[in-house]
Chains A and B, each alone.
Chain A
Amino acid sequence: MKEILKHFIFAELIYHEDPAAFGDDDNLLDAGLDSMGIMRLIMFAEKEFGVTLPDTEIEPDNVGSLNSLESWIRRSGYAG
Chain B
Amino acid sequence: MTDTKEQLFNPGDYFTYVLDQEIRNAGMPGGYCGFALQLAETPDLSALQQRLDLLVARFPQASAKIEPRGKRFAWVATGNPIPLEFHQCQPGADEADESQRLLLDIFNRPESRPLTVHWIAGAEGGTLLLIWLHPLLDARGCKILLDFLSSERPDSFKESSSLIEAKLAQWNFWKKLQLFFKAKRHNTAANSLDSCLPTQIEQGPQRLHLKVQRFDADQSQRIAKLAQQATGLTGRTLYYLGCIMRAMEWVGPPAAKDGYCIPYAFNLRRQNAPTPVFGNHIGCLFARATREQVRDRTGLFAHLVSEHKQVVRDELDLAYLPLMWLGQWLTPAKYAKVLRKQHSGGELSSLWFSDIGELSWRKQGFLGVPVTDLSLMCWMSLPPGLALLACQLDGKLVLSYSYLSPAIDEAWLDAVIARMNVELLDSP
Contacts and interface: CB of A to CB of B under 8 A. Distances in A.
A11 B273 CA distance: 11
B232 A12 contact: no
A43 B233 contact: no
Contacts of B235: 35, 39
A14 B272 contact: yes
Contact of B266 (A32, A36, A59, A63): A36
Interface string B238-272: 00000000000000000000000000001100111
Contact of A34 (B273, B274, B313, B357): B357
Contacts of A1: none
A42 B312 CA distance: 10
B312 A39 contact: yes
Given A42-B234, A58-B232, A34 B309 contact: no
A51 interface: no
A16 to B, nearest CB: 8
B274 A15 contact: yes
Contact of A15 (B236, B270, B357, B358): B270
Q: Is the interface of A mostly helix, strand, loop or mixed?
A: helix
B234 to A, nearest CB: 4
B187 interface: no
Contact of A38 (B234, B270, B274): B234
Contacts of B274: 15
Contact of A58 (B234, B266, B357): B234
The size class of the interface chain B forms with chain A is: 20 to 34
Contacts of A13: 270-271
Nearest to A60: B233
Given A14-B271, A15-B273, A15-B274, A35 B312 contact: no
B169 to A, nearest CB: 14
Contact of A35 (B237, B270, B309, B317): B237
B283 to A, nearest CB: 11
Given A55-B232, A58-B232, A58-B234, A34 B271 contact: yes
A2 interface: no
Nearest to A43: B312
Interface in A16-55: 16, 31-40, 42-43, 46, 55
Chain B interface mostly? mixed
A40 B308 CA distance: 10
B309 A43 contact: yes
B163 to A, nearest CB: 10
Nearest to B314: A43
A58 B274 CA distance: 29
Q: Which of A31, A36, A38, A60 has the most CB of B within 10 A?
A: A36
A40 B272 contact: no
Nearest to B264: A36
A12 B235 CA distance: 19
A39 B234 contact: yes
A58 B270 contact: no
A5 to B, nearest CB: 15
A35 B233 contact: yes
B133 to A, nearest CB: 25
A37 B271 contact: yes
Interface in B301-318: 305, 308-309, 312-313, 317
Interface in B346-373: 357-358
Q: What 4 A-B pairs have minimum CB-CB distances, sorted nearest first?
A: A32-B271, A15-B273, A15-B270, A39-B234
Interface of A: 10, 12-16, 31-40, 42-43, 46, 55, 58-60, 63
23 contacts: A10-B270, A13-B270, A14-B270, A15-B270, A31-B271, A31-B272, A32-B271, A32-B272, A33-B271, A35-B236, A36-B234, A38-B233, A38-B234, A39-B309, A40-B312, A40-B317, A43-B309, A55-B232, A58-B232, A58-B233, A58-B234, A59-B233, A60-B233
